[in-house]
Amino acid sequence: MTNVLNQLTGLPRLAKTKFVSMDLGNTRSSLQKLMAATVVLAGLLLLSAPKASAASIDVTFVWGGPVPGLALHLYQGDTGKCQCLNGQCDIAPDATAITDKQGKARFPNLLGNTVYTVCVEEQCSGPSPCVDPSQCSFSGLCWTVTTGKSTMKLTLGLH
């Protein structure tokens, strides 16, 4: 019975800890400096990151004069994308633009320092049905250009 009476009946206590004091003025200042350094570092990283160029190709098509309403097709690379689509040899341009009253069209938002092919009346021909792209051949009035860092002006046709 003495054993039961001698046992602790209260809640166990935590080990003693030392008092922790923080100077909020210095902490706030340190956090502000850390945030400022993070913003500066992020800005430097953004400035040094490679950027997509805002290159574009402005095309003027003339055939003795401006030709309005003409479809111009753009392909990335130095050849058209003549391929076998649904059993037929067909073309899949990356972009199409229609000439305005002055025979002008624009291909915006292109990659700089990249080869593009601009075509008029291109054809993709081959056997029907076709099985693979090697059976298809590409032909047409095409011009291959390499974009710079800004707008490239291209005049096509007979002037």
pLDDT tens readout for residues 24-46: 555 556 656 655 655 544 544 44
> What gap in Å lies between CA 127 and CA 84, rounded to an integer?
10
The pair phi, psi for residue 7, each rounded to 5°, is -75, 150
Residue whose structure tokens are 């291909």: 107
DSSP 66: B
* Nearest Cα to Cα of residue 92 among 79, 107, 80: 80
The rounded distance, in Å, linking the Cα atoms of 135 and 156 is: 29
Is pTM beyond 0.75 here?
A: no
Q: What is the pLDDT of residues 103-122, one digit of tens each?
A: 999 999 999 999 999 998 88
